[in-house]
Homo-oligomer: A and B are copies of this chain.
Amino acid sequence: MIASEIPVLAVLCGANLPPDMAAVEAAAVVRYTDARGLPEALAGADALFVYDFLSTAVPGAWAAADRLRWLHIASAGVDPVLFPELRDSDVVLTNSRGVFDDAIAEYVLGVVLAFAKDFARSLDLQRAGTWRHRESERIAGREVLVIGTGPIGRATARLLRAAGMRVSGAGRRARTGDADFGEVHDSAELPRYLGEYDYVVAVAPLTEQTKGMFDAGAFAAMKPSARFVNVGRGELVVTSDLVAALRGGQLAGAALDVFETEPLPPDSPLWTLPDVLVSPHMSGDFAGWRRTLVEVFAANFRRWTAGEPLQNVVDKRLGYVPSESQGAAG
């Protein structure tokens, strides 16, 4: 950016405008747009803030991006904007790494306890006015595998361990002595070790390597008493294989916050399968999250206009922010 020019910022947001944009508006020409207006807003824009992070509109409007140098997305996962033309371009991609970590960790601990204490059955019995005593499970000492060793996976591992569980990780590189996970398995070899775990938690980013990693072979390798938790991306899972595994008793339950198609279609068997907990992609969305997302963007925007290194720069080949590089040249 030439310092003497006022930059042009396109904001993809649909009907809900991002809050607290005054500081950004004071230092840029801001063009708020929905998906339909995106090509027009991108023409001549220096930066794009994808506030509507579930939108799939960016690839189709990309041809209009004639001077874009920076794209920031208000989510941790960057898969909706990581298409080949962006990957091969010089446009810097940043995400909202860090915002959701602890909220998602709490959510995962919550569903683990919901399974162990049989809360869904308690609520169904309550709705039916039925008093029926059951025995419940302990979580202390149970084995958990967290697949994904980024900041969300690390926050999850720390919280589950604090609650008394035994936690391991799976990531791109097998290793021992990790500060949060202890042992980290190679996530390319899931079926080899999945059978050791009572809970399997998916928080990996969606990449070519992770897409469909939870397939029939993975579910067949799990304990029949195991529960599967997905707070990463729906596309990590071959949904039809998950449904078949649940029906076949190859695992004991699943808590799913993300789905291959969102909203989950009305005819999906996941709505009604026993021992499945469905939530609408909300695990990280604590009260105040939208303001926090804008704060993260605004802080990066201030760095960008000041010529300072941006935070949360995505390695576009990997598909996520590498742990080693928290900051990089913007």
Contact = CB atoms under 8 A, between A and B. Distances in A.
Interface of A: 102-103, 106-107, 109-111, 113-114, 116-117, 119-120, 122-127, 129, 131-140, 159, 162-164, 262-264, 266, 271-272, 277-283, 285-289
30 contacts: A102-B138, A106-B116, A106-B139, A106-B163, A106-B164, A110-B110, A110-B114, A110-B116, A110-B119, A114-B119, A119-B277, A122-B277, A123-B123, A125-B280, A129-B266, A131-B264, A133-B280, A133-B285, A134-B280, A135-B282, A135-B285, A135-B286, A135-B288, A136-B285, A136-B286, A138-B286, A138-B287, A162-B162, A162-B163, A162-B164
B163 A271 contact: no
B103 A138 contact: yes
A102 B117 CA distance: 13
Contacts of A126: 271, 277-279
B281 A136 contact: no
The 9 closest A-B pairs by CB, nearest first: A110-B113, A131-B263, A162-B162, A126-B278, A135-B287, A122-B279, A133-B280, A131-B280, A110-B117
A77 to B, nearest CB: 16
Contacts of A113: 106-107, 109-110, 113-114
